[in-house]
């Protein structure tokens, strides 16, 4: 009976450790997703600036046909 209790306690400890690791992974994934989202917005802003420059130089934007 003591052996089963020890095994259950070890399982509970392992589950707690796994839960903490998963929470850390989730937090890191959220940070990465937020950084990627910010990068896409920065890229879009830069592309908008380039379009303005192209319009001033050539009289049309890159989206014009």
The residues spanned by each domain of the chain are: 1-60
Alpha helices for the chain (secondary structure H): 2-58
Considering the entire predicted model, what is its pTM? 0.60
User: Tens place of pLDDT for every residue, the chain, 65 residues?
Assistant: 899 999 999 999 999 999 999 999 999 999 999 999 999 999 999 999 998 888 888 886 666 66
C-alpha dihedral, 42 to 32 to 27 to 17, nearest 10°: -170
Q: What is the DSSP letter of 63?
A: T
């Amino acid at each position: 009976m003591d052996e089963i209790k020890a095994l259950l306690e070890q399982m509970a400890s392992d589950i707690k450790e796994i839960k903490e690791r998963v929470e850390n992974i989730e937090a890191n994934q959220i940070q990465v997703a937020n950084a990627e989202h910010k990068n896409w917005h920065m890229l879009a802003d830069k592309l908008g600036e380039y379009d303005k420059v192209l319009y001033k130089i050539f009289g049309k934007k890159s989206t014009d046909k």
